[in-house]
């Protein structure tokens, strides 16, 4: 699973519920129109880690109504939001590949990809409506933050570029992870204190996970992505933004080269791997993971808390 669980009984329970969610998701993307169903199931069929529904299910273990049907409905709702955002993201990034398969915009076209994303958002909203008005309000806020993050990603910051990047990441990734943990705790009947703690945990761990991608683009040969892909494409990352903010001359000189060419790109990656800015980025991610672990103090000791702590540690040190 995407989150390692040491307790065999808990792992088996989560696997069974996640399998149930997966079967239901396949039904959720069905449509009266075969072409719509084909396009909507395209990315889901390509796989994925299912972090968000798994976090819903794990957070639900903190409440007395772990087996509530609403928990699985919530897990499906957040995953559909995530899938929908990928369709839109690929159009914005002009991506050709997603999860080792053709992106929807490459397989069909931008119009189909955008409208399929909209359709998936609608399907998620139908599920959320089953959970009541509070869930609808939370989803609306989450969706707003996600879209705002996507918009800000394409806007040149007028102020602190590092803070702008952190705001983008919190909106695009942190918000939905926060809602995932919140839904699981809410719909299992956990206390308000635990709901609040797990919401904050989800936000922190989601942001840390996304920022660790910035580091992997430079530091890892195991991530499945060619090192320096973001550099080549001119995508802002935390290490490069920190280098610019701190005036790290060696990095800035390397970034000034033509990074669309292999040799200057390789040189820039080599310089960044030895830079203070990369180390500062690592320390920031570790700090966010430590903050995430700290808010779990209100969660009772046991296998659930252990799994959440282990996930935070894994995010802080991930290599792929």
Tens-digit pLDDT profile for residues 145-157: 999 998 998 899 9
Per-residue H/E/C for 4-43: CCCCHHHHHHHHHHHHHHHHHHHHHCCCCCHHHHHHHHHH
For the ranges 29-33, 201-205, 219-223, 316-320, the maximum mean pLDDT occurs at: 201-205
Query: Which tens digits make up the pLDDT trace of 215-264?
Result: 998 987 765 567 888 899 888 999 999 999 999 999 999 999 999 999 99
The reported pLDDT for the residue numbered 97 is 60
Q: What are phi and psi of 311, to 5 degrees?
A: -65, -40
* pLDDT band, residue 9 (cuts 50/70/90): very high
> Is residue 58 over pLDDT 70?
yes
Q: pLDDT-derived band of residue 114, with 50, 70 and 90 as boundaries?
A: confident
**3-state percent breakdown (helix, strand, coil) of the chain, nearest 5:** 75, 0, 25
247 token code pair: 């005036």
This prediction's pTM: 0.92
Tallying the residues shown for the chain, one arrives at 320
Instruction: Average the pLDDT over 272-286 and give the result.
Output: 96
Q: Where do the structural domains in the chain lie, given as residue ranges?
A: 1-190, 192-319
| Separation of alpha carbons 162 and 148, rounded Å | 17
Residues 6+ apart with CB under 8 A from 241: 161, 162, 165
Q: How confident is the model at residue 281 (pLDDT cuts 50, 70, 90)?
A: very high
Q: What is the mean pLDDT of residues 208-212?
A: 94
- Return mean pLDDT, the chain: 90
Q: What is the mean pLDDT of residues 70-91?
A: 90
Mean pLDDT value across residues 39-64: 87
Helix pair angle (175-187, 192-219), 10° resolution: 150
pLDDT, residue 259, reads 93
Mean pLDDT of 155-163: 93
pLDDT value of position 227: 84
pLDDT digits over 95-106, tens only? 566 545 666 666
CATH architecture of 192-319: Orthogonal Bundle (1.10)
Condensed to tens digits (0 to 9), the pLDDT of residues 166-203 reads 999 999 999 999 999 999 999 999 999 999 999 999 99
1-190 and 192-319 have identical folds: yes
How is domain 1-190 classified at the CATH fold level? Farnesyl Diphosphate Synthase (1.10.600)
**pLDDT confidence of residue 37:** 80
| Higher local confidence (pLDDT), 316 or 248 | 248
């Amino acid at each position: 699973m995407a989150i390692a669980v040491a307790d065999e009984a808990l792992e088996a329970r989560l696997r069974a519920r996640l399998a149930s969610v997966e079967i239901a998701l396949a039904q959720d993307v069905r449509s009266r129109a075969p072409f719509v169903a084909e396009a909507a199931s395209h990315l889901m069929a390509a796989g994925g880690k299912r972090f968000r529904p798994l976090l819903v299910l794990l957070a639900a273990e903190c409440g007395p109504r772990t087996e509530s049907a609403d928990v699985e409905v919530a897990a499906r709702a957040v995953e559909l939001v995530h899938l929908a955002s990928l369709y839109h993201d690929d159009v914005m990034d002009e991506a050709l590949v997603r999860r080792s398969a053709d992106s929807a915009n490459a397989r069909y076209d931008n119009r189909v990809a955008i409208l399929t994303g909209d359709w998936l958002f609608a399907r998620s909203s139908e599920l959320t409506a089953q959970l009541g008005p509070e869930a609808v309000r939370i989803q609306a806020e989450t969706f707003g933050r996600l879209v705002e993050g996507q918009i800000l990603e394409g806007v040149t910051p007028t102020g602190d570029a590092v803070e702008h990047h952190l705001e983008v990441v919190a909106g695009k990734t942190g918000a939905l992870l926060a809602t995932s943990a919140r839904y699981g705790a809410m719909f299992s009947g956990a206390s308000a204190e635990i709901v609040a703690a797990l919401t904050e945990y989800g936000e922190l761990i989601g942001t840390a996970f996304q920022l660790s991608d910035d580091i992997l683009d430079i530091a890892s040969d195991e991530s499945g992505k060619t090192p320096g892909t973001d550099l080549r494409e001119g995508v802002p990352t935390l290490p490069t933004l920190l280098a610019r903010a701190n005036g790290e001359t060696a990095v800035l000189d390397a970034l000034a080269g033509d990074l669309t060419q292999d040799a200057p790109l390789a040189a820039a990656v080599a310089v960044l791997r030895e830079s203070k800015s990369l180390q500062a980025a690592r320390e920031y991610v570790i700090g966010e993971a430590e903050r995430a672990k700290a808010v779990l103090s209100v969660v009772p000791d046991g296998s659930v808390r252990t799994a959440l702590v282990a996930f935070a540690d894994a995010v802080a040190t991930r290599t792929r």
